[in-house]
Amino acid sequence: MKTTFLSLIILLIAVYAYSQDNAQSEYKEWKTSEDEYVNFDIGKYFTPDIVRNQLVIGFGLDSDYSHVNSKNTEFAETSFRGVLNNNKYFAGGIASDFSRYVNTRRKISNLAINLSLNEDYTSRKQSVTYKDSVLNYVNNFVNNVSTNKLGIDWWNKWYFSKLFFLNYNVSGGISHDFRREEIKNPTTEGESKRNQFIFNVSPRIGAGYGRIENVEDARQAVYIANALSKRNILSKNNYFGTLFNIQLVYSLF
């Protein structure tokens, strides 16, 4: 019995050691090493044509309502009868972001459009009642806030030759802010409003020389190809065709 138990422990230790060694070997495959693809010149890599569009839309709603009625039944000691409170709150918003990115040999462009619509409404009403109705009074407070914004940023770089380019950028925005506040109680009564529009635009233009290629995807593709080749999944003959075909499809979509 002792021999069987000892053999079982030794077997478990051997299996664990093998699995750990195998896991380390799998991890090492993804590290840079001197192999058949180490001579790939990343400096000669050109970013393939890229067109990417992205649209994100978000909605948000928040509301709260409370109704509290407090009564006093001890009329003999005080003339106070009760208080009635009604509170309302509502907030809603829509946010939308659109972006378009283009990278070709002749043009690098980035367009971003941001739109946000927000509405906040708060209402508080308090009614106080006394035994003598002449002393009854009401407190009212209403606050309404509306904020809307539209922003645009358009950045372009046109290449006239291999490295000479014209750079121009236009950014701007429109915002509308509306606020209304109403107060009514025995001592104060009034209403205030504010309606504000803001418009801004900022154009820029310039020229330059040079280009920076994004080689991140190419490096990752080379590392993946190394690991697959060690498992004999990729052959030496079809490596570059498969690599850059996958890279081009990934970038376009």
Q: What range does the domain containing 190 cover?
A: 50-211
17 occurs within a structural domain: no
Share of the chain above pLDDT 70, in %: 67
Residues 219 and 183 in one domain: no
Helix axes 216-230, 239-252, angle to 10 degrees: 140
Instruction: Report which of 218, 225, 227 is spatially closest to residue 27, judged by C-alpha positions.
Output: 227
Residues 224 and 162 in one domain: no
Percent of residues in the chain assigned helix, strand, coil, to nearest 5: 25, 55, 20
Q: Answer yes or no: are the C-beta atoms of 174 and 199 closer than 8 Å.
A: yes
Residues 97 and 158 in one domain: yes
Instruction: Report which of 184, 84, 188, 83 is spatially closest to residue 142, judged by C-alpha positions.
Output: 184
Instruction: Report which of 250, 242, 245, 240 is spatially closest to residue 216, judged by C-alpha positions.
Output: 250
Give the pairing type, strands 50-71 and 189-209. unpaired
Looking at the 3D structure of the chain, how many domains does it have? 2
Res. 125: pLDDT tops 80: yes
pLDDT tens for residues 27-46?
Answer: 454 454 445 556 667 677 77
Residues 111 and 234 in one domain: no
Structure tokens, 195? 């309606």
Residues 176 and 251 in one domain: no
164 occurs within a structural domain: yes
Residues 32 and 54 in one domain: no
What is the C-alpha separation between 167 and 119, in angstroms, rounded?
39
What is the C-alpha separation between 57 and 133, in angstroms, rounded?
54
Residues 87 and 31 in one domain: no
What is the C-alpha separation between 8 and 184, in angstroms, rounded?
85
**What's the length of the chain?**
253
Res. 219: pLDDT tops 80: no
Q: Answer yes or no: are the C-beta atoms of 243 and 225 closer than 8 Å.
A: yes
Res. 129: pLDDT tops 50: yes
What is the C-alpha separation between 121 and 118, in angstroms, rounded?
10
Phi (first) and psi of residue 196, to 5 degrees: -130, 130
126 occurs within a structural domain: yes
Query: Could you give the 3-state DSSP secondary structure of residue 84?
Result: strand
pLDDT tens for residues 159-176?
Answer: 988 889 999 999 999 999
